[in-house]
Structure 1
Amino acid sequence: MSAERTLQAAALAALRAVAGLNGVFLGPPVRATAPFAELGDLIAIDWGTKDLAGREIRLLVTLRDAAEGPERIETLAAGVGAAIEAIPRDLPGWRLASVVLARLRITGGSPGQWSASVDYRIRMMEAL
């Protein structure tokens, strides 16, 4: 399986274990009750060597919530970060070399609507 699909499967499993979410979706859901998470498109670039395949992947998780204040979405964003950082380093056919938070942004849109973007840079090498 490709690095991207392997990481996506591991991330979905990790995110579905985050307490307090009413679902984790690949992209925007048709119907969902806040708070929920969307696993966005994975952006991958080559990170290989002469004799090993490697990928640097940007993994973006967007959280959506409806609440009076940002406290719950801040807690959920921390839980999402912890879940991503706890993804096992050894995955089928691949090994995670690094998992680094690239950006965390929490914003309030219209009254009572909150979103958080949790963006990670993950580097993977083909397992020997």
Structure 2
Amino acid sequence: MRAALFDAVEGHAALRGAINGVYFETPERASVPYALIGELAARDWGTKDARGREARLSVTIVEDAVRGARLVELVGEAEAAIEAMPREIGAWRVASLAFVRSAVLAAKGGERRAVVEYRVRVLEI
């Protein structure tokens, strides 16, 4: 699912033109803005006859601390990218995808971060 999230964020045209990259880990040398794909936390969401998972997906947008308005715009585009994810991911079919939260974090070291989190529930195909 992290790979599908990466592809969705990287493939979203409005984000691709506005950020300098999408990463799984904080890059040593990257200029802001960029996106970080969060770790995946999942739990059982199966039924009597089908395996299932409920997972939390997150994307963090890192931007210059003085560009708060732009950060909010980028978060909106990250949300759009997540909501446009394919409804089949490998051997799983997405049963639901729901917004959980977004938060803009305090500025640190000249950067400001915003995180957007979604819950996805999938059933094995």
TM-score (norm 1): 0.87
RMSD across aligned C-alpha pairs, in angstroms? Answer: 1.5
Would the aligned equivalents of 1:69 and 1:112 in 2 still touch at CA under 8 Å?
Answer: no
Deviations 1:72-91 (A, max 9, x none): 11111000000000001122
What's the counterpart of residue 80 of structure 1? Answer: 78
Query: How many residue pairs get matched?
Result: 121
Q: How does 1:1-128 map onto structure 2 within 5 Å?
A: 7-17=1-11, 18-19=15-16, 20-110=18-108, 112-127=110-125
What's the counterpart of residue 3 of structure 1? Answer: none
Q: Output the CA distance in 2 between the equivalents of 1:92 and 1:112.
A: 39
- Percentage identity across paired residues of the two chains: 40
Question: For 1:114, what is the secondary structure of its paired residue?
Answer: strand
Q: Output the CA distance in 2 between the equivalents of 1:126 and 1:110.
A: 41
Question: For 1:97, what is the secondary structure of its paired residue?
Answer: strand
Deviation at 1:27, TM superposition (A): 2.1
Would the aligned equivalents of 2:65 and 2:107 in 1 still touch at CA under 8 Å?
Answer: no
Deviation at 1:107, TM superposition (A): 2.6
Deviations 1:30-81 (A, max 9, x none): 2211001111110000001122110000011111101523111111100000
TM-score (norm 2): 0.89
What amino acid does structure 2 have at the position aligned with 1:60?
Answer: S
Gaps of 5+ in 2: none
Change in Cα spacing, 1:41 to 1:111, as seen in structure 2 (3 Å) is: closer
Q: Output the CA distance in 2 between the equivalents of 1:96 and 1:81.
A: 17
